[in-house]
Structure 1
Amino acid sequence: MPNGDNWQGDVLRDLRGASGPPAAGTGGSSSPVPQAQPAPPASPTPPTATQASGTERISVPTPPPAPARTPTPTQIPTPPRPRRPSAPDSRAVVDGALSGTARRPQRGEPVAVRVTRAVRRIVSSSAAREVAELTRTAEALQQPVTTGRQIAVTSIRGGAGKTTVAALLGTAYAHYRQDPVLLVEADPALGSLPLRLGAETLRWTTADLADIVEPQMSLLDVTGYLVQLPENAWLLPGSQGQIGAMLDTSAYERVMVALRRYFGVTVVDCETLPAEVARVALSASQARVLAAPATLDGVTSTYAVLQWMQGLPRHMIDGTVVVLSSTVARPGIDVEAAAEKLRSTGAGVHVLPYDRHLAAGGVLRTELLARPTRLAAARLAAEVFQLSQKRR
């Protein structure tokens, strides 16, 4: 082997990681040079800084320390999600012992009156006029909306027919409109809207939904918390019938703002004035209905409220309709003269005629209403809806 061949030294230098001169006895000598043995296989323990190899001690670089382990996503603690209110138990609207006391509902008018009216319609031209009026009413009720319309129904005192009027409006909108209709009970202490609408059980209330409804929820999610009614309507009860139940204005406002985008029309059965929630509902709604009994004291108190409303912004009185409900077959006042006096304030006035089915209370069944009552309810619903469309 020629003296200039020094490849073994180069190998040793590579193993040492050095660039210095060759080891002693390797350069310019023909004597055999001990060759480095192959490195032993890696052991599970970390290698030392130096390892023996034949007659030479070969330095082995110490491996760098292993990088610190980062926690996996499952190891990173996640903040707890806010807990929703626990689901309340369902409660019957009418106690079982009381439900058996109700008599069979009767029609709004006697048979003789119905027969006489049918004969008159046959022999006169009133039937054609009636059909034309119903067609115009249906067209007005079916107008599309860009945002949900909210209609508040209230009264000066209890027993004025407020809940009955709210139920009539809600069922009329559900019958004529294609978009969903919502009825909200904002009278938790003394409200009877679930009973009037035929609901059997109650669960979630207005106060409950104030902490549940979120912007990303779908209509199907929302209606899961509501009571489904016939046709295209849903009910949100104010309470489960507890004595002394309360509803604060902040909870009411949160619910109404959150639900507005899901329903084309919302009818709110408010507390009697001057309750705080009723005043908030009247100011926030696009149209207002003031129920009053067709009695002297009912008309007098309603007239005083309308005079007070004249001092408010003009849209308040312009968007208000008074409903005079006759609770007896022969009222003690001239209803038409009283209606004209109330109209002089700038509010609209509708007269709801006496109806035996409505006067008996209980579940409202539209097929049992007298024909004049159905026509009056449809006209009222159309006018109130038109007023709500004027205010954006």
Structure 2
Amino acid sequence: MTTTPDPWADAGPAPERPRPGAGQDWSTRRQARERTARDQDDPLAGFEPVAPRTARRHARRHALSLPERAARGLGSLLRHDPTPERLAAHAAAVQAPVTTGRRIAVVSLRGGAGKTTVSALLARTVAALRPEPVAAVDLDPAAGSLGLRLGDAAAPGADRLAAELAALPVPALADLSARMAVSGAGLHHTGPRVAARPLGVEAATTLLAALSRHVPVTVLDCPTGTGHPDTAAVLAHSHAAVFVLPASPAGVDEAAGYLRHWRQDPVLSAVPVTAAVVGTDARGVLDPRAQAAALARVGVAAVAVRHDRHLAAGVDVSLPLARPENRLAAAELSARALAGSRP
């Protein structure tokens, strides 16, 4: 009987591979967290992306703790809360028919002001209140996070969407739905852009025209800074604007000066603007409500968005989990932008 020689006889002993977790002390959660943090900096070890892990941990966290919600519920039994009536009034304004697609540009002077958070709040609010499809477009050229805030960061970017729509004779709503992420009740949105160069006037016009043909309201998360070419192109085609500023001394001072310029500029003054004063820091020295009231006293329509641990998580925005005051603020911003938009 002939035996076949072993082709691996001269290969030597099999290498010893350490078992997963061998040599590591996982006796405490603190050590496990430290090990995970080190692995994130090691390209050979591999790691789970931060965004999905944060989404799982914080996206379902309510803005108010359980004791706070219980205290509010008890307080509502003892005194009248005007929030439902005010919310109903703003909702009626958001639900009013529009004769043509309305575009709301969300702008800011600096990064970290809360522009994308406000954009996601507006898009979620309008989509929840209107029966028709609603669109949200991320125009940030530096891989914006609007898609993450709306639940699907893997959606195609605005530049890719504009190029694909330009190749179609007359884009239909089905073409938009096939090329955009659809979140919740008919909310169509784009993902991060893949090109850092400006979108351009022609591509922006093509994109906005295709959206407004089928979508009554489009929220546009503009690049940071009103001097960016894409911001200028979008403002020229927008019916209203929301100017986002952080509730900080520098943010309020800069925004107040620029909003005065906005009212005097021959081009910008044609676009009705509402300021959104955002509490970006839970321990900030300025109260967003007080700063919004101060802007209103000098003739600038302003709404306060208070610090919210659900919104501050930086992941998928859920209206039921946000502070009731911020749900009301989002409805008021949406109502002001639609009711006061230019024809």
Whether these two folds match at TM > 0.5 is yes
Candidates 270, 273, 276, aligned match of 1:323: 276
Please tell me whether the aligned partners of residues 184 and 238 of structure 1 are also in contact (alpha carbons under 8 angstroms).
no
Matching of residue 272 in structure 1 with residue 227 in structure 2: no
How many Å apart are 1:202 and its aligned residue? 2.6
1:197 aligned partner: 150
3-state SS of 1:217 partner: coil
Partner of 1:166: 119
Of the three residues 300, 309, 333, the one matched with 2:286 is 333
Gap runs ≥5 in structure 1 = 1-94
- The farther-off stretch of 301-310 and 337-346 is 337-346
Distance across 2 between alignment mates of 1:233 and 1:100: 21
Secondary structure of the equivalent of 1:184? Answer: strand
1:186 corresponding residue in structure 2 = 139
Q: Distance in 2 between matches of 1:377 and 1:307?
A: 24
TM-score by length of 2: 0.78
Alpha-carbon RMSD across the aligned residues, in angstroms, is 2.2
Find the partner of 2:66 among 82, 88, 111.
111
Question: Which residue of 2 is the match for residue 223 of structure 1?
Answer: 177
1:387 is matched with 340
Contact 2:108 2:243 (8 Å CA) reproduced = yes
| Counterparts of 2:143 and 2:257, CA distance in 1 | 24
* 8 Å CA contact retained: 2:103, 2:238: yes
1:114 maps to a residue whose letter is R
Give, in whole Å, the separation in 1 of the partners of 2:294 and 2:320. 33
The answer for the alignment partner of 2:40 in structure 1 is none
Provide the residue aligned with 1:309 in structure 2. 262
Counterpart Cα distance in 1 of 2:324 and 2:76: 12
Question: Could you tell me how far apart the structure 2 residues matched to 1:205 and 1:313 are?
Answer: 29
Say if 2:274 is the partner of 1:347: no
Count how many residue pairs are aligned between Structure 1 and Structure 2: 292
* AA of the residue aligned to 1:257: A
Deviation at 1:345, TM superposition (A): 4.9
Which whole-Å CA distance do the structure 2 matches of 1:314 and 1:218 have between them? 32
Unaligned runs of 5+ in 2: 1-46
Aligned residue in 2 for 1:236: 190
205-214 or 174-183, which deviates more: 205-214
Mapping 1:1-392, distance limit 5 Å: 96-99=48-51, 101-102=53-54, 104-105=57-58, 106-126=61-81, 129-203=82-156, 205-213=158-166, 214-240=168-194, 244=196, 246-273=198-225, 274-313=227-266, 316=269, 319-388=272-341, 391-392=342-343
Question: Which deviates more, 301-310 or 170-179?
Answer: 301-310
Provide the rounded CA distance (Å) in 2 between the counterparts of 1:192 and 1:207: 16
Structure with the larger RCO, 1 or 2 (CA within 8 Å, 6+ apart): 2
Change (3 A) 1:178 1:308: same
Percent identity, aligned pairs only? 33
Question: In 2, are the aligned partners of 1:324 and 1:350 still within 8 Å (CA)?
Answer: yes
Which has the greater radius of gyration? 1
Amino acid at match of 2:200: D
Aligned partners of 1:194, 1:246: CA distance in 2, in Å? 19
What secondary structure sits across from 1:292 in the alignment?
Answer: strand
Letter in 2 for 1:376: A
Paired residue type of 2:97:
P
Deviations 1:51-92 (A, max 9, x none): xxxxxxxxxxxxxxxxxxxxxxxxxxxxxxxxxxxxxxxxxx
